């Protein structure tokens, strides 16, 4: 292969002219003959037994050229792009120029990675907020554990309350006429789960088993069924069962039942430690987001639209895969949500554009600061991947492209570089709104 010419024909658009010599082409033509000959029939010869010169005489000298060209041009194009020092970001348009026994030549027109400028990425001023875990935060986690450890009991001596699980019948009417999809029998519902439209579940509370009652609500203006948007409705309801969750006492026995700790205080201390770790990570993420936003603000690049579209493609594929893991598919999901392909893709547009910009900016910083992946870095990433996927290290190395992993490592080093060179004001403490209110109340009482 030889790159015979390369030129920029538009912003981020390059044209390459590439030739493949006779020797390489002849070998590919020979392979094409051996592959296709068994299926070729020539009069006077058994199927697959006709001599090559007879096949070429009957079908033309170039009978195997197309197959040979298709075999060779992808690798020839890839080598030419590398020689030209360009990074394609989209599929190339290929135009065959000449084909003959002396080889072939073709033209590749391709969108390339844009030129990027980044300024001001050193010394960015960004505040890191430190979050402090409060007793209220810990109590909220304890309440979650208490609820999970609760037992469900049947209730017959009182009306339903918020938080109860009820089984009930309902039928909806608009202007006295029942509407499609508004009826259910022996439907299970946790009051307060917000499974139904606003105001519905609160009106079930207060009614007893066997009681007939009405629920009066209005459908939201943004409801997914057009005919029901903003319409007032009356639901005829009847409760068949009420079940409540009986919560365990919060004591040392509770701690033993729900954890490896012997006392409630030890459980609380562990929860507080883990919550603090989580909040510290959140603080780091917030700081990183501020730094990245500042980096993007100092970036200049004419980014081709195809880069955004490819990122959206990746995000849609990832979403479809996660749906598949839940036993669903993307088509059904879009039907359920009333989405079109275009409107669904639009939901990823802003995030996709942000991710593309971040990646380009950090790649440029890595280039400017000569931040690269070492052999030790690569080996560590391969080991982590092997652990995650439960595969042998050598198999992982065969499956995962080292070049792409190296790029990811360099990008991570770039954000570390930006963070290490940032200038942050003195961190301030931040507690939850609840604890701040509590402090204000104490100060008020002290003043009295």
The first and second tokens of residue 241, run together, are 């069962």
The first and second tokens of residue 412, run together, are 């991570």
pTM of the complete model: 0.70
Pairwise CA distance, residues 146 & 153, whole Å? 15
Model confidence at 435, pLDDT cuts 50, 70, 90, reads very low
CB atoms within 10 A of CB 92: 22
Pick the CATH number of 260-430 from 1.10.3120.10, 1.10.10.10, 1.10.3720.10, 3.40.250.10: 1.10.3120.10
Pairwise CA distance, residues 290 & 418, whole Å? 11
Residue ranges, CATH 1.10.3120.10, the chain: 260-430
Q: Under CATH, which number does the domain 151-246 receive?
A: 3.10.50.40
Model confidence at 311, pLDDT cuts 50, 70, 90, reads very high
Summarize pLDDT for 329-368 with one digit per residue, the tens: 888 888 878 888 999 999 999 999 999 999 999 999 999 9
DSSP 211-248: -EEEEEEE--TT-SSGGGTT-EEEEEEEEEEEEEEEPP
Summarize pLDDT for 230-264 with one digit per residue, the tens: 999 999 999 999 999 889 999 999 999 999 999 99
Q: Which is more confidently placed, 356 or 45? A: 356
Is residue 433 over pLDDT 50? Answer: no
> 58-62, 85-89, 297-301, 438-442: which has the minimum mean pLDDT?
438-442
Is residue 22 over pLDDT 70? Answer: yes
DSSP 270-325: HHHHHHHHHHHHHHHHHHHHHHHHHHHHTEEE---HHHHHHHHHHHHHHHHHHHHH
Residue 181, Ramachandran bin (φ over 0: left; ψ between -120 and 50: alpha; else beta):
left
Residue ranges, CATH 3.10.50.40, the chain: 151-246
Average model confidence (pLDDT) for the chain? 90
Pairwise CA distance, residues 404 & 352, whole Å? 19
Is residue 89 over pLDDT 50? Answer: yes
The first and second tokens of residue 279, run together, are 């909040």
Summarize pLDDT for 377-432 with one digit per residue, the tens: 999 999 999 998 888 989 988 888 999 999 999 999 999 999 999 986 655 555 54
Class of domain 2-113: alpha beta
Arithmetic mean of pLDDT, 142-163: 92
CB atoms within 10 A of CB 2: 14
Summarize pLDDT for 196-207 with one digit per residue, the tens: 999 999 999 999
Q: Of 374, 395, 376, 370, whose CA–CA distance to 385 is shortest?
A: 395
Pairwise CA distance, residues 281 & 161, whole Å? 38
């Amino acid at each position: 292969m030889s790159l015979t010419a390369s030129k920029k024909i538009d912003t981020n658009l390059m044209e390459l002219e590439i030739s493949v010599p006779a020797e390489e082409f002849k070998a590919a033509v020979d392979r094409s003959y051996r592959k296709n000959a068994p299926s070729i029939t020539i009069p006077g010869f058994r199927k697959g037994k006709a001599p090559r010169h007879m096949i070429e005489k009957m079908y033309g000298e170039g009978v195997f050229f197309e197959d040979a060209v298709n075999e060779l041009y992808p690798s020839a194009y890839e080598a030419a792009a590398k020689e030209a020092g360009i990074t394609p970001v989209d599929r190339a348009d290929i135009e065959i120029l000449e084909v003959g026994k002396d080889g072939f030549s073709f033209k590749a027109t391709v969108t390339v990675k844009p030129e990027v400028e980044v300024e001001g990425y050193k010394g960015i001023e960004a505040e890191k907020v430190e979050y402090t875990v409060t007793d209220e935060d810990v109590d909220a986690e304890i309440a979650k554990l208490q609820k999970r450890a609760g037992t469900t009991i049947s209730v017959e001596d009182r009306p339903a309350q918020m938080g109860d699980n009820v089984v009930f019948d309902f039928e909806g009417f608009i202007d006295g006429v029942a509407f499609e999809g508004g009826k259910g029998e022996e439907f299970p519902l946790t009051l307060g789960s917000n499974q139904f439209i606003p105001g519905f579940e609160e009106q079930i509370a207060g009614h007893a088993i066997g009681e007939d009652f009405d629920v009066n609500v209005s459908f939201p203006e943004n409801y997914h069924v057009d005919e029901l948007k903003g319409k007032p409705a009356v639901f005829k309801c009847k409760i068949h069962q009420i079940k409540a969750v009986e919560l365990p006492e919060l004591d040392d026995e509770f701690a033993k039942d729900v954890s490896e700790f012997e006392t409630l205080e030890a459980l609380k201390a562990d929860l507080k430690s883990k919550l603090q770790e989580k909040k510290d990570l959140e603080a780091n993420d917030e700081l990183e987001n501020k730094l990245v936003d500042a980096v993007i603000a100092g970036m200049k690049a004419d980014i081709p639209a195809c880069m955004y579209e490819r990122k959206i493609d990746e995000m849609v594929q990832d979403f479809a895969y996660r749906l598949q893991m839940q036993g669903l598919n993307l088509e059904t999901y879009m039907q359920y949500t009333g989405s079109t392909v275009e409107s669904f893709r639009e939901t990823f547009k802003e995030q996709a554009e942000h991710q593309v910009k971040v990646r380009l900016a950090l790649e440029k910083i890595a280039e400017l600061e000569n931040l690269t992946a070492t052999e030790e870095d690569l080996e560590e990433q391969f080991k982590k991947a092997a652990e995650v996927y439960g595969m042998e290290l050598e198999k992982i190395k065969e499956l995962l492209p080292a070049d792409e992993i190296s790029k990811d490592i360099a990008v991570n080093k770039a954000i570390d570089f930006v963070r290490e060179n940032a200038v942050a004001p003195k961190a301030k403490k931040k507690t939850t709104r609840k604890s701040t209110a509590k402090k204000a109340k104490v100060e008020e009482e002290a003043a009295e």
